[in-house]
Amino acid sequence: MSYDVFLVSAVADRDIAKLVVRRLRSLKFRVAFNQSQVDETFDPKDARDATNSQSVLVLWSENAVKSDWVRAAASVGNSRPGTLIQAAIDKTIPYEPFRQEKRYSIEGMTSRKTPEGFFQLIEELGRRDGRTDLRQWLSFGAKDDDKRADWIAAHPADPIAEDARKKREKDLGIKPAPARDAIGAAALAAASLKTNGTKAPVMPVVTAPVASAQPNPLTELGAGWGAVAAVSAAIVGMLVMAWVFRSESSPEMAAASHAIANSRMATVTCPAGTVPRSLLSVLETGPIIDDTQPQIIDDTTAPEEGTDTPE
């Protein structure tokens, strides 16, 4: 990633360094600054960030001239013409070759006090980045909204104006345009699809069908017509099998079942005019008596032997 400013300061000067970083970032400068650094080792990541930055800003102080990390970072910035820019926190003069370079004094800078040297520093950083009138922007107060709007209208390409436009579009619900990196990645992907000097075939755009006014319940449940037909056929088959088994019972099943279990099965086992075999052992044969006719008693019948005859 590239930066506008790579900030260099001693560990003991972190408070003033954080203040400078906040001011620079409020002006939409991209600043590389490791506020959690505790050692004095200038590692490869520091060298890469310093190399990828347009300017290397060094905050010189009594602590900075004693720091190996500050001197190493300053040397990287000094090795590239037009990259090193220096600021002085106190009256300490750095060693050669940094002694002869111009230093902007920001001594006594606080959150409410801005020295003249900081305005000059901002103008120099803006000049390197093609930006103008940053001193005027810093001079606006909290209630100068109209002046800020006029400044943004006069500098539409400035990062401050671009940030204001993004905030306004976000408030209106407008989605931002694709980033340049994303566009480049898409172009690279399209180029990778080319084979033998021919362009990759363009895939047709499939449009979704327009939904009907009344949605289909089967479609909402995710069931297709094939599944519905299969379920219906299974239900019909089960009904047919149930009807067959109820209407046709084998003689073996009828004989093995009790008569009271199913009236139809009892009728098949014992046809009309027959008696179940299990009842033959308890029934005794005898004359058939017609109960529908009145019975005649014969008084002339001789009494049995041994009985008294009435007088």
Q: pLDDT tens, 255-279?
A: 554 544 444 544 455 666 676 666 6
188-219 burial, b at 16+ Cβ within 10 Å, e below that, comes to: eeeeeeeeeeeeeeeeeeeeeeeeeeeeeeee
pLDDT at 125 over 70: yes
The answer to whether 255 and 269 are in contact (CB under 8 A) is yes
Q: What are the structure tokens assigned to 51, written together?
A: 């190399």
pLDDT of residue 211: 47
CA–CA gap between residue 137 and residue 147 (Å, rounded): 9
Tokens of 103: 């230093």
pLDDT of residue 39: 76
Strand order in the sheet with 3-8: 31-32, 3-8, 53-60, 84-88, 103-105
Which superfamily does CATH assign the domain made up of 3-139 to? Toll/interleukin-1 receptor homology (TIR) domain (3.40.50.10140)
| Whether residue 202 has pLDDT greater than 60 | no
Q: For 18-45, what is each residue's pLDDT tens digit?
A: 999 999 999 999 999 988 887 778 888 8
Mean pLDDT, range 44-56, rounded to an integer: 92
pLDDT value, residue 229:
83
Mean residue pLDDT across the chain:
78
Kindly compute the dihedral angle of the four CA atoms of residues 12, 16, 21, 26, in this order, to the nearest 10 degrees. 160
Lowest mean pLDDT among 146-160, 175-189, 223-237: 175-189
Residue 175 pLDDT grade (very low, low, confident, very high; cuts 50, 70, 90): confident
Q: CB burial class (10 A; 0-12, 13-18, 19+) of residue 250?
A: exposed
Q: Where are the domains of the chain?
A: 3-139, 231-269
What pLDDT does 311 receive? 47
Q: Which residues contact 16 (CB under 8 A, 6 or more apart)?
A: 9, 59, 89, 106, 109
100-114, 235-249, 252-266: least confidently modelled range: 252-266
What is residue 261's DSSP assignment? G
At 285 the pLDDT is: 61
Of 81, 66, 87, the closest CA to residue 17 belongs to 87
- Is the pLDDT score of 222 beyond 60? no
Cβ neighbours of residue 217 closer than 8 Å, sequence gap 6 or more: none
pLDDT at 212: 46
pLDDT in tens, 278-295: 666 555 566 666 667 666
* pLDDT recorded at residue 261: 47
